[in-house]
């Protein structure tokens, strides 16, 4: 299996060499400008603080969505085996 794989890779590389194609051609997207939202892209600009509205839509504040650390859905830790005590 390994010999066949090496032979296949060698043939593929030879075919690329004959076509004049570089190994990395087409593997990556074209270079482009970084977004202004890129992390810390402009260190000279003042940071903006998001201040949300005083009243949020009640759909987003349902108690059923809140995290409950003692929920029955949370996995229960197993007791250690007697050999591990």
pLDDT value at residue 10: 92
Q: What is the pLDDT along the chain (85 residues), one digit of tens a residue?
A: 889 999 999 998 888 888 775 655 556 666 666 665 555 566 787 777 777 777 766 666 555 555 565 666 656 666 677 776 6
Domain ranges of the chain: 1-73
Distance CA(61)–CA(55), nearest Å, equals 10
pLDDT value at residue 15: 86
pLDDT value at residue 71: 60
Do 35 and 41 form a contact (C-beta atoms < 8 A)? yes
CA-based nearest residue to 11, from 3, 71, 59: 3
């Amino acid at each position: 299996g390994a010999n066949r794989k090496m032979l296949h890779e060698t043939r593929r590389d030879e075919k690329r060499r004959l076509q004049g194609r570089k190994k990395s051609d087409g593997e990556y997207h074209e270079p482009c400008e970084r977004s202004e939202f890129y992390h810390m892209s402009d260190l000279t600009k003042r940071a903006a603080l998001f201040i949300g509205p005083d009243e949020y839509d009640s759909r987003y504040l349902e108690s059923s969505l809140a995290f409950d650390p003692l929920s029955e859905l949370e996995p229960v830790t197993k007791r250690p085996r007697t050999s591990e005590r």
